[in-house]
Amino acid sequence: MSEVFIKKLQSQESGYSGDKPDQRGKYILIPKGALSLFPVLSKEILNDTKIIKSTFLNSRSIGLNLVYHNAKYFPEIKKRGHNEVRIYRNTFLDKDLKLDRNVIFVAVKLDNGEYAFDSILPGDSEYGLFEKLSSECKEKGLLDSSEITETSRIDLLFKIKRDSEVLNSDDIIKSTNKIFTKTEKEYKRARVQQPAMVGDKAAIFSSLIKSQNDFAKYLRLIYDNKCAIRGTSLITDNHAGLDAAHIQADTHGGPLLPSNGLLLSSDLHKCFDQGYLGLSNDNKVVIRSDVPKTSELYKYEGVVIKPIEGYEMCAPFHSYNEFHRMEHKI
């Protein structure tokens, strides 16, 4: 049986608060009945996450975070007892599939373990059919593709797999690398402001910061041209050798806000992006447990990140810190 997941996206999943858009992060909630289509996540690891590779009908391939919010099984965590699995949406997914509330999301799993996604928009000639299928999927968890005979769209998703099978393994690797390289370049050129997390006081800067260059300028200002961790610069009053680092990556919906950034020495920036270190919710440097204890990185463990006086609202916001830790299992 070839299983299909079909879901009509709700307002909360698409970042709405009432009718006001872009008020929170965007995701796709996976109901319990549909979990068997996706990789298994552990109850024993707080916020266990896996990267799933997905392909669209336009042949773009991207990676997405599948996250199990399982605080229910960690009573020592002073949070609501979450017990749900989400796919976190990013700019590429939303742009290519035009995702928003009331859009119908379709997912199938291919034999190679990857996924193929599609969307049906309100006004599409088949929207009524897929709205009905979405209701059936809500009841059953997953649908059998062989029983969906009123449309060919599901078959087209599975055809992505059949087309790729004519390529040898080297061709597939080259094709995939080409897609990711092109995607990365396109995104860097198009990098724009994205919605702030709910509660982020630095959201007031959203209308002022329109580009990566603006983002970097603010970080240089609030950290006084010094590395936020080392507290030093190579040249007095000069940002040479310092990078504007994102906490929650922009490819995962992180905004261009000072509260989602750090001014870091290039070497620490690379370590941060690769997940060797992160920030606790109270902005102390934490080191990932698999980093050897003899490493120099540990000299920065416990360092508190603080912007200069007057810019306290621009300190790293806990939601971005948590996303970064979750992504890298820190």
pLDDT the model gives residue 106 = 96
- What mean pLDDT do residues 86-115 have? 90
* Helix extents (H) in 249-295: 266-273
pLDDT the model gives residue 78 = 54
State the pairing for strand pair 115-120/49-55: parallel
pLDDT the model gives residue 261 = 97
Assess whether pLDDT exceeds 80 at residue 91: no
CB distance 54 to 105 below 8 Å: no
pLDDT the model gives residue 157 = 84
Distance, in Å, from the CA atom of 114 to the CA atom of 128, rounded to the nearest integer, reads 28
pLDDT the model gives residue 197 = 83
Residue 37, judged by CB atoms within 10 A of its CB (0-12, 13-18, 19+), counts as middle
> What is the residue whose two structure tokens read 């971005």?
320
> What is the residue whose two structure tokens read 């959201």?
203
Assess whether pLDDT exceeds 60 at residue 37: yes
Got the DSSP string for 239-278? -TTEEEEESS-GGGT--S-GGGEEEEEHHHHHHHHTTSEE
Give residue-wise pLDDT tens across range 68-89: 888 888 776 655 677 899 998 8
CB distance 214 to 206 below 8 Å: no
Give residue-wise pLDDT tens across range 151-198: 988 988 887 754 443 333 343 334 334 333 433 444 444 466 778 887
Q: What pTM, to 2 d.p., does this model score?
A: 0.53
- What mean pLDDT do residues 16-28 have? 85
pLDDT the model gives residue 22 = 79
Which tokens in the block code for residue 101? 């509330």
Which tokens in the block code for residue 322? 């948590």
CATH T-level assignment (fold) for domain 3-190 = At1g16640 B3 domain (2.40.330)
Assess whether pLDDT exceeds 60 at residue 317: yes
Assess whether pLDDT exceeds 70 at residue 141: yes
pLDDT the model gives residue 179 = 35
pLDDT the model gives residue 79 = 54
pLDDT the model gives residue 54 = 84
Which tokens in the block code for residue 74? 């960690």
Distance, in Å, from the CA atom of 54 to the CA atom of 160, rounded to the nearest integer, reads 11
CA dihedral sign, ordered 209, 212, 217, 221: positive
pLDDT the model gives residue 184 = 42
Which tokens in the block code for residue 56? 């669209």
Query: In this structure, what is the dihedral angle of CA atoms 199, 205, 209, 213, given to the nearest 10 degrees?
Result: -90
- Per domain, the residue ranges of the chain are 3-190, 201-328
Which is nearest to 253 in space by CA: 7, 37, 22? 22
Q: Is 188 left (phi over 0), alpha (psi -120 to 50) or beta?
A: alpha
